Amino acid sequence: MADPANQMKVNQYVIYGMSAVLIFGALNAVLVTAGEYEPAAYVWFKIALDAVMTGLLLILLVAVVNGAPSGGLKTAALLLGPAGLVAGLVKLGARLSGDAGWWTGHYSYAL
């Protein structure tokens, strides 16, 4: 059986990584203008990936809040985690912002 203290550290590192990926993707969705539509299978894959990462991030944040000891790792996870959650919602929101947003994952689109 895994050591609970070690598992909490791993959870916190996973929060850092997923938050960084989601924040980078949200910045990309907001700041970069898309130039072409993506294939349908790729669109569905990215939507599913963003949804799973956002949901898993929420689950890990709840686990860290309830089980991790106080300290620097927990504080950093509690700062980056909510930012990652917001970024995940921004990425999913781009897909729901219109036809061009659905296919590109960006808020702005130009040929």
Q: What is the CA radius of gyration of the chain?
A: 16
Prediction pTM value: 0.90
Please state, in angstroms and rounded to a whole number, the distance separating the CA atoms of residues 75 and 51.
25
Residue spans per domain, the chain: 8-104
pLDDT band at 72 (very low <50, low <70, confident <90, very high): confident
pLDDT band at 48 (very low <50, low <70, confident <90, very high): very high
Percent of the chain at pLDDT above 90? 63
Residue 74 predicted with pLDDT over 60: yes
Tell me the pLDDT of the chain averaged across its residues. 91
Residue 89 predicted with pLDDT over 90: yes
What 3-state DSSP class applies to 109? strand
